[in-house]
Chain A
Amino acid sequence: MSRFEIRWHGRGGQGIVTAADLTATAAIKSGFYAQSIPTFGTERRGSPVIAYNRIDRQQIFERSPVVEPDAVVVADPHLLVNPKPLGAGLKSGGYLIVNTAKSAGEVREIFKRSDIKIAVVNATKLSMDILKAPIVNTAMVGALIAATHILTLESVAEAVKDRFPSRLVEPNVQLIKQAYEFVKVE
């Protein structure tokens, strides 16, 4: 794998920064060099939030936000109302991974791009079932790795063990596996 860059879109409170942290942690545990980059505003619960990952075999020098991501993860279906910032810079051949009840075809209609792979998963439903709360960050990590194969399920489960209090490990690992299984890629 050469450089792989990810941009996360969500809302304050959904755990987007944690999702990026988990991804970087799993990558570092797998022997990659990786960065997790939160954006720093005066975010409040509910306001749009962005985070980034860079993953590489080499040390990464860059210190600026990802401009041309290989993958974009959209953790909140409400953000689809304004698709422009979501698709901005997404590379041809890249991945768009969306938490939605829509089909991949319906999402493709919104973005009007035939040169990208689209993955959909109803992460809100899965997290309500398992966590009894609409906290979709770990589910979206599962969807991301299922669609892109950049990291293994085992490495992400390890990262969850590392970063989460012990009572939250099992349900989140279960959620990641479910999202991994149910994601649909087109």
Chain B
Amino acid sequence: MGKVLPLGGNYAVAYAVKACKPEVITAYPISPQTTIVERLSEFVANGELDAEFLHVESEHSALSVAIGAAAAGARSYSATCSQGLALMNELLYIMAYVRLPMALTIVARALSAPINIWNDHSDFMSVNDSGWIMMMSSSNQEAYDEILLAYRIAEDPRVLLPVITAMDGYIQSHVVEPVEIVDDEEALSFAPKRRSWVTLNPDKPVTMGPVGDPNWYFEFKRQLWEAMKGSRAVFDEAVAEFAKKFGRSYSAIETYRLDDAEVAIVGMGSFMGTIKAYVDRARKDGIKVGALRVKLFRPFPAEDVAKALSNVKLVGVMDRALVPGSPTGGFLHSDVACSIKQAGLDVRTLGYIAGLGGRLLTMDNVRQMVDVLLKYKDSKEVPKEPIFIGVRE
């Protein structure tokens, strides 16, 4: 077993990346991500990690260089958030469709305007169609563990997709918690360097990323749909192996006291911890409430979500990013509602938009959310528009 260190989320991720021994790290600082690459640069500078550490001139270049490195066969890493992720945007799709593996950490932060460096899920959600496998943790330990999972899944020859691991900015990245770190050899034996993809090699030349005219483009989109779908089995295998090796279990969704729940709150990220604590409190008052946290967002675990919610009367889905003009107002709510519909269940949903731009979320906000569910749990009509939690009227 490894040792337990008091670590903020960013340092936890830096330690995990070091253990996975990437050959190329590309870095452009942006709050609240900066201390990940700062700590990695220290590891490289003091000889603890043998990697090319590239200070690039923008996030666009950070991912461009990572694509080049992965194309050459290197294990690559970068981290960003918010405007930085927006600047990376066009490269995200290229990396996914050329099927190059890497791990990229998003330290979730709001998107401008107004300029805001604080936490919500706007950046994460904005790239949900980019073809990357996407997961979000809820503790620093999980943020650490996700890096190991990311490299194992990304480089699996049955997958070959890049992976985003996300955590909440500040609320995780800068909050210190105990984190158990594993030995480098253990990490590498769990996530070995597979070199399982086609690379640029002068002895065996290939052409990467050529034009795909209307005769060809569509086939690659079709291919990625299948790869994403197939990655779920590899994810399940990886978390099972992880539990066996390191004793910590994860799954695509985390359910909490749902078995006899009448109402449930669904959400993502670290605030689900506070929701779980509230569930415990409400249960003592006889309120039958449960919680469901979506860890794996792409591929979306639709069947798992529907099955877990099948006996609930009314589900409240908390989105921490707003999609103006969409039927639900949030990507997570839309996907949860669709999962329930596809399963043919008679379970209704309503949505909350909460905690945008770092707006404080408290136990009292959870009470508000649960109160709404209790009010509507037996009524025919439920609100169609999202309920904005914690905004001034």
Contacts and interface: CB of A to CB of B under 8 A. Distances in A.
Chain A directly contacts chain B within the complex, with at least one CB pair under 8 Å: yes
Interface in A34-55: 34-38, 40
A40 B276 contact: no
Contacts of B132: none
Nearest to B140: A35
A149 interface: no
A25 B270 CA distance: 21
Contact of A61 (B118, B171, B273, B361): B273
A5 interface: no
Given A34-B6, A67-B363, A62 B174 contact: no
Contacts, number: 65
Interface in A58-82: 60-65, 67
Contact of A28 (B6, B175, B270, B358): B6
A65 B250 CA distance: 26
Given A21-B6, A25-B6, A28-B4, A63 B177 contact: no
B230 interface: no
Nearest to A53: B176
Nearest to A33: B178
A24 interface: yes
A62 B277 contact: yes
B6 A40 contact: no
B362 A40 contact: no
A60 B6 CA distance: 14
B97 interface: no
Given A21-B6, A25-B6, A65 B362 contact: yes
B314 to A, nearest CB: 23
A interface secondary structure, majority: mixed
A183 to B, nearest CB: 25
A64 B367 CA distance: 14
B4 A61 contact: no
Contacts of A63: 168, 171-172, 175, 270-271, 273-274, 361
B176 A24 contact: yes
A158 B278 CA distance: 35
B360 interface: yes
B132 to A, nearest CB: 25
B170 interface: yes
B178 A34 contact: yes
A20 B175 CA distance: 10
B120 to A, nearest CB: 13
Interface residues of A, number: 21
Given A25-B6, A40-B118, A65 B360 contact: yes
A61 B362 contact: no
Contacts of B4: 28
A61 B277 contact: yes
Interface in A7-46: 20-21, 24-25, 28-29, 33-38, 40
B175 to A, nearest CB: 5
B276 A35 contact: no
A34 B177 contact: yes
A177 to B, nearest CB: 22
Contacts of A29: 6
B273 A62 contact: yes
A62 B6 contact: no
A24 B11 CA distance: 15
B3 to A, nearest CB: 11
A64 B360 contact: yes
Contact of B175 (A25, A33, A35): A35
Among B118, B172, B176, the most chain A Cβ lie within 10 Å of the Cβ of B176
B358 A62 contact: no
A40 B176 contact: no
B176 A25 contact: yes
Contact of A35 (B117, B176, B271): B176
Given A24-B176, A28-B4, A64 B276 contact: no
B46 to A, nearest CB: 14
Contacts of A20: 176
A134 B30 CA distance: 31
14 contacts: A24-B176, A24-B177, A28-B4, A28-B6, A33-B178, A36-B176, A38-B170, A40-B32, A40-B117, A40-B174, A62-B273, A62-B363, A64-B361, A162-B6
Interface of B: 4-6, 32, 117-118, 168, 170-172, 174-178, 270-271, 273-274, 276-277, 358, 360-363
Shortest Cβ-Cβ A-B pairs, 7 listed: A61-B273, A36-B176, A25-B6, A40-B170, A28-B6, A28-B178, A63-B270
Given A25-B6, A40-B118, A64-B363, 14 more contacts: A28-B5, A37-B175, A38-B174, A40-B32, A61-B273, A62-B277, A63-B168, A63-B175, A63-B271, A63-B274, A64-B274, A65-B360, A67-B363, A162-B6
